[in-house]
Structure 1
Amino acid sequence: MLSLIQNENMKIYRRFGTWFMIGLLALSALAGALIINATYKEPANWKAEVASEIKGIEAQLSEEKLPKMYKNHLEQQLKINEYRLEHNIKPLASNTFWGYLVNSADIIALITLFTIIVAAGSVASEFSWGTIKMLLIRPASRSKILLSKYIATLLFALSMLLLLFVVSAAVGAAVFGMENIREPYLAYQNGAVVEKSMLLHVMQVYALNCVDLVMMATFAFMISAVFRNHSLAIGLATFALFVGPQITVFLAMKFDWAKYLLFANTDLTQYIDGMPLVEGMTMSFSIMMLLVYFVLFNTLTWFIFRKRDIVA
């Protein structure tokens, strides 16, 4: 298995396109920091801004017929803002080290796109290049060959994530400095505001954003194995990545059954903010639905790849 994974990694990193994606990722992290540094305007008086926000939240809470979920979210934000004023803790600004690290998690969408490209070509390219028969005559079983390709794809995604985190940290320190390195993250738990490690918060944001990455990579890998078409796999997965969430949000506004759709559950950061897409959704429910889709995608991939006849 290790030799199979090594072989798949060699295929990935010997391509010029892979190194182009790596360079583009690093460039995106640098460009994002420079743009924020040039355009972000810090409030002259952050306490006045927070106090104004508190008044706005109190005005909204005074309204009748607020959805319970939204009301809870506002109450949490109110408590956090009051805690900020009481303990003199600034809101997390984009032009700070931690603020940029949190914002850099948005670049994971670019990593998702790159991983889709790699996953889409993992199996389909073997058919288009005519190397699939040579691959399958090896002593390893079809299941092991397929698993090695899937693991190599996920390892590529993990490598890109580590690269993004390291480059973003280095760029953030160089551009914004590290004066606020000891700044805490404020969270609302069990009816009280608590101070948490900002590093753990950043890692949590990265981890939760990785859910969409893994699911879309698995989906693209399935299309690649089932239809043996590189372009189709990239097209369908990319379309689902950018259009799927918008369609899901539209459906969630009208139908409760939208919570069973894949894209209603891939964004687990919605539970950090306390604003699930559909009222009544919980973190455990979303994880359960994601596991169902994950097993479904992989079952289809393995079953069809193992049973398919390979035509010369």
Structure 2
Amino acid sequence: MFNLVRNEWEKIFRQISTYIMMGLLILILIVTAGMMKYLDSKEKAENQDWKQELMAENENLKQQHEDMQIIGPKDLIEQEIAINEYRIKNDLPPVEERTVWTFINDSISLIPFAGLFVLIVAAGIVANEFSWGTIKILLVKPYKRWKILLAKYFTVNLFLLLMLAILFVCASIIGAVLFGTGDSSSNVHLAYVNGQVKEQSLFLYLVKSYALNSLSVFLLAAMAFMISAVFKNSALAIGLSVFLLFTGETATKLLASKFEWAKYSLFANTNLMQYIDGMPLVDGMTLSFSIWMMILYFTIFQILAFLFFLKRDVTA
């Protein structure tokens, strides 16, 4: 198995596109950090009376809240109002000195871009073998088909870990250079849990958030891998998985505001941060429910991938 995984790993790094994807991810981080550095300098000069600004913002948010036709405990406006009031009451300015840790926290929003490159690899790792005609050479080797496919899937997940590691390490280096390590006492995250605002360690929140925000990429990579194995079409796998990566969560939120059955969809359950922040997408959803739903989807993806790959005739 180790030799199979190593062989797949070498295949990935023999392609120039792999290095281009890594370079693009690092470039996006650098550009993001530069923009944040520039915006921070402007905010420090302009944001003097932050309490008055937060009170005015809360008035606008309350007006928006009253104008909404659908209001529920998951309402993001309620969360923002509560956090603003907590800042005013406890003298916690919303614009604090940015540090390496806060920049890593901001870099979490770039996980979908890292996931985009992982989906490209997952979508092509099986389908390309068929389109290039190398699948016949691969299958004549003294390995069972399930081991060959499993090695490919292991390689996809190793590449996912590599891209996440690049994102985290580069964010740490760039953040330390541009923003410094800062004061540990200022690294506080405000979370809205069970209708109350609570202070959390930013570092611990960061670790949980980084891991949990990667779940959607992990499951979409499994889906792209399945489509690649079932349909032998990398374009279909890439197109569908990338479309769902950037629109699936938004579409699910719209459905969840009207239909309770939306809680059974994949994207209603991949964001486990909704339980950390205390705001489930649909009333009645629990952490265990979302975990079981993800296990169900993952199992379906794997069964389909292995079933079709093991039964497919490639002798023609």
Q: Is the 8 A contact 1:212 1:266 kept in 2?
A: yes
| Counterpart among 103, 108, 111 of residue 111 in structure 2 | 108
Which stretch of structure 1 is more off in the superposition, 144-153 or 84-93?
84-93
Pair 1:221-2:225 in alignment: yes
Percent identity, aligned pairs only?
46
Q: Which amino acid aligns with 2:245?
A: L
Q: CA deviation at 1:191?
A: 7.6
Q: Which amino acid aligns with 1:23?
A: G
3-state DSSP class of the match of 2:302? helix
1:18-97 paired onto structure 2 within 5 Å: 18-40=18-40, 41-42=42-43, 43-52=47-56, 67-70=71-74, 74=78, 78=82, 80-81=83-84, 83-85=86-88, 87-91=90-94, 93=96, 95-97=98-100
Alpha-carbon RMSD across the aligned residues, in angstroms, is 2.8
3-state DSSP class of the match of 2:190? strand
Normalised to the residue count of structure 2, the TM-score between the two structures is: 0.86
For residues 112 and 76 of structure 2, the distance between their equivalents in structure 1, rounded to whole angstroms, comes to 29
1:285-296 paired onto structure 2 within 5 Å: 285-296=289-300
- Tell me the equivalent position of 1:176: 179
Which stretch of structure 1 is more off in the superposition, 265-274 or 140-149?
265-274
- Tell me the equivalent position of 1:139: 142
Are the structure 2 counterparts of residues 192 and 255 from structure 1 closer, same or farther at C-alpha, using a change threshold of 3 Å? closer
CA deviations 1:9-53 (Å, max 9, x no partner) are: 111111100000000001101100111222344322334444555
Q: CA deviation at 1:270?
A: 2.7
Structure 2: tracts of 5 or more residues without a match? none
CA deviations 1:235-267 (Å, max 9, x no partner) are: 221222233333323322321111111122222
Are the structure 2 counterparts of residues 88 and 143 from structure 1 closer, same or farther at C-alpha, using a change threshold of 3 Å? same
For residues 193 and 146 of structure 2, the distance between their equivalents in structure 1, rounded to whole angstroms, comes to 45
For residues 77 and 270 of structure 2, the distance between their equivalents in structure 1, rounded to whole angstroms, comes to 20
| Counterpart among 236, 248, 257 of residue 232 in structure 1 | 236
- Tell me the equivalent position of 2:245: 241
3-state DSSP class of the match of 1:69? coil
Q: Which amino acid aligns with 1:224?
A: S
1:250-289 paired onto structure 2 within 5 Å: 250-289=254-293
Q: Is the 8 A contact 1:97 1:172 kept in 2?
A: yes
3-state DSSP class of the match of 1:140? coil
Q: Is the 8 A contact 1:70 1:275 kept in 2?
A: yes
For residues 31 and 20 of structure 1, the distance between their equivalents in structure 2, rounded to whole angstroms, comes to 16
Pair 1:199-2:191 in alignment: no
CA deviations 1:25-84 (Å, max 9, x no partner) are: 011011001112223443223344445556667888999998451479837963x55554
- Tell me the equivalent position of 2:3: 3
Count of matched residue pairs = 311
Which stretch of structure 1 is more off in the superposition, 131-140 or 108-117?
131-140
Normalised to the residue count of structure 1, the TM-score between the two structures is: 0.87
3-state DSSP class of the match of 1:161? helix
